[in-house]
Homo-oligomer: A and B are copies of this chain.
Amino acid sequence: MAAGSSFGNNFKVTTFGESHGNALGAVIDGCPAGIGLSEDDLKPFMLRRRPGQSEFTTARNEDDACEILSGVFEGTTTGTPIAILIRNKDQHSKDYSDIADIYRPGHADYTFDKKFGIRDYRGGGRSSGRETAARVAAGAVAAKLLKEFGIRATAYTRSIGPVSIGRYDPGESNSLFMPDHEAFRKASDHINALRSEGNSAGGVIECVIKGVPAGLGDPVFDKLDARLAQAVMSIGAVKGFEIGDGFEAAFSSGIDNNDAFIPAPDGSIIKATNHSGGILGGISDGSDIVFRCAVKPTASISLLQQTMDRNGKPRDIMIKGRHDPVIVPRAVVVVEAMAYLVIADALLAHTCDRTDIIKKALKEE
């Protein structure tokens, strides 16, 4: 212990809540004073993650309304902890007793039992995707902070199963958050085909962070990409993370993989290419930060599977009810939220990296 529900050293988020408990939420300790913030700032983020919004997401009826309980006074953050509450409303709609003693394949049922000797079997409890609602709310606050510094993260679906986007189309808007209309159509067909047989699909999410100044991130263990990796891999169902050229870099050569430094029109230093993905030696280099993550197919499927129960007896299982045939689209905003949390944390850390910066910070006007 502690049970790992906190993230960040400066912009520090602690989340709580189970899928079918009374409520979920987040407490942010370390958000600077002086940012305009209201529940309206959280809404657009929460809406993108919400269940029941398209043919590819579950019908669970949650409005995911956020109540800010503390840390904001007259519309401005005060520097004290910002607590956000999200009530579960539709948590009593289903009977989970038939799976209470069965370990669902691909889920955390078995491992929670081995760790804690007990599990809240209602819809996955703390290991449910519903846990991410609290992350998204916290990420929205980080986004508001970073907006003050011109930093903006954008995540989107890069591929579903074998279907990848071609050229990024910023004008395209669809329920898969896949910025290429043709790819969206094919991906929809792919998902529908799998769903019709009770099966599910995976995919890849890409995230681009613009406006990050050079110099963020710590050397050694807390490299900016290492923190992004932890942040993104901590989202349930994510199985891989890569930055810049990622696994492709293993096939490249030094001369092809290195990015030349060149002068920008304004005289500053930029990179001619961005194989590094915006981070060198764990520290942001001023280019766009670009990373990808792999999302596994939804584990809850209605096909017959072989498993075991708590008493060590083999059992068959067919998971009833509607489940998302693909997690990817709802995870997009979660990836974005985690990116914001990492960058916010690193930005705050940078203010005490150097004596000259500290002196500027503390100088009375």
Q: Could you say which of A33, A249, A250, A347 has the most chain B C-beta atoms within 10 Å of its C-beta?
A: A250
> Is the CB of A244 closer than 8 A to any CB of chain B?
yes
The answer to whether A25 touches B80, judged by C-beta atoms less than 8 angstroms apart, is: no
Interface residues of A in 233-274 (CB under 8 A from B): 233-234, 236, 239-263, 267-269, 272
A106-B280, A269-B308 given as contacts; is B253 within 8 A of A297 (CB)?
Answer: yes
8 Å CB contact of A297 from B17, B149, B249: B249
Does A27 reach chain B (CB closer than 8 Å)?
A: yes
Q: Is A70 in contact with B21, judged by CB distance below 8 angstroms?
A: yes
User: Are the CB atoms of B360 and A363 closer together than 8 Å?
Assistant: yes
Chain B residue with the shortest CB-CB distance to A348: B352
Q: Once the chains bind, are A79 and B253 in contact (CB under 8 Å)?
A: no
Identify A69's interface contact among B25, B250, B259, CB under 8 A. B25
**A contacts with B, residue count (CB < 8 A):** 168
Q: Which of B120, B222, B239, B352 contacts A351 (CB 8 A)?
A: B352
Interface string of A158-169 (1 = CB under 8 A from B): 010110000000
Q: Bound complex: CA of A29 vs CA of B351, how far in Å? A: 15
A282-303 with Cβ < 8 A to chain B: 282-286, 294-301, 303
Expressed in whole angstroms, the minimum distance between the Cβ of A142 and any Cβ of chain B is 13
CB atoms of B306 and A354 under 8 A apart = no
For A254, give its contact among B85, B106, B114 (CB under 8 Å): B106
B280 and A194 contacting across the interface, CB-CB below 8 Å: no
Cβ-defined contact, A103 with B269, below 8 A: yes
| Residue A179 CB within 8 A of the other chain | no
A118-B215 Cα distance, complex, nearest whole Å? 12
**Minimal beta-carbon separation of A288 from chain B (angstroms):** 15
- Asked whether any CB of chain B lies closer than 8 Å to the CB of A105, the reply is yes
- Report Cα–Cα, A131/B307, bound state, in Å: 46
Q: A245's closest neighbor in chain B, by CB?
A: B239
In the assembled complex, the CB of A49 is this many whole angstroms from the nearest CB of chain B, namely 16
Q: Verify if A99 is at the interface (C-beta below 8 Å from B).
A: no
In the bound complex, how far is the Cα of B291 from the Cα of A14, in angstroms?
28
User: A139 contacts the other chain (Cβ, under 8 Å)?
Assistant: no
Residues of B within 8 A of A247 (CB): 204, 239-240, 242, 247, 294
A303-B194 contact given A106-B276, A234-B222, A349-B1, CB 8 Å threshold:
no
Q: List 14 A-B contacts (CB under 8 A).
A: A1-B11, A1-B353, A4-B220, A15-B81, A32-B357, A110-B285, A222-B234, A230-B233, A239-B245, A240-B246, A249-B295, A250-B294, A261-B307, A350-B361
**Told that A14-B29, A32-B358, A79-B354 touch, could you supply 15 new A-B pairs with CB distance under 8 A?**
A2-B8, A4-B282, A5-B29, A16-B83, A23-B83, A78-B118, A110-B285, A199-B255, A203-B250, A233-B243, A239-B245, A240-B243, A258-B305, A348-B358, A358-B361
